[in-house]
Structure 1
Amino acid sequence: MGNLIWHEYARFVSLSATTYTIWSAFWGFFYRKFFWDFVGGTIRAPGGIQPASNVAFLITIIVKAPVVQILSMVLGFGLLALDYPAPFLKGTSIYRSFVFRIVLLILQAFFAILYYQLLAVL
């Protein structure tokens, strides 16, 4: 009985975290900002902080082209289909694999941390 209850709580936590990730990726499309630009940045008199050149790649994948937000949203919808579950996934080996879900949740957490700094500004 205890394993069943903990399994359901873990499923609910996964569903709520995935829903939040999808929601935050949606907002990340509209409010694109690389928050950590002050680390190693140069302060300009009229313009504020100019980011350092070593974070140009992160600025490209978060601000100029929202690659991180798109990947996070696609991964979130995939995890939502796995955890809810979608009828075409029920009973498959992917649906039953806890290792596959754990790997996807860790990847989702990585992408969410990359653009979490977007919502820290709001």
Structure 2
Amino acid sequence: LGQTLYYSVSPKVILALLEFQAEPIGKDTIRAKAKVSWKERTISIEGEGNGPISAFVHALAARGWATFTLRDYRAHALSSGEESSAAAYVSIQTPKGSTVWGCGVDPNIELAGLHALVSAVNRSLS
């Protein structure tokens, strides 16, 4: 399932994305179901939002794990052509006001964004 890039000074891997599925449930709503590893325990989570990242954040929040505010999201292709992987960058703000960035790479641009979010969460908790 793609790559979450764990940069910085070896952040602890507290959250890992193992599986992810998203389906539309209305005009502007996505339901996400994910299997994650949280502190080395495999857990299924579910949430809804206006897109995959929003739904994943709501799934984390339902468990009390989203103690941050999503501030920025950007993504781009790493090369030309339909087989290119995407790199995504996510910025979150912690409750103490710190800004933390994460990066993710995946052939699927939506999953790249999720991996970037996971990277940022891990960096914020390290």
What's the TM-score once normalised by structure 1's chain length? 0.26
Report the TM-score when normalising by structure 2: 0.26
Q: Using CA pairs below 8 Å that are at least 6 residues apart, which structure has the higher relative contact order?
A: 1
* Structure number with higher strand proportion: 2
The structure with the larger Rg is 1
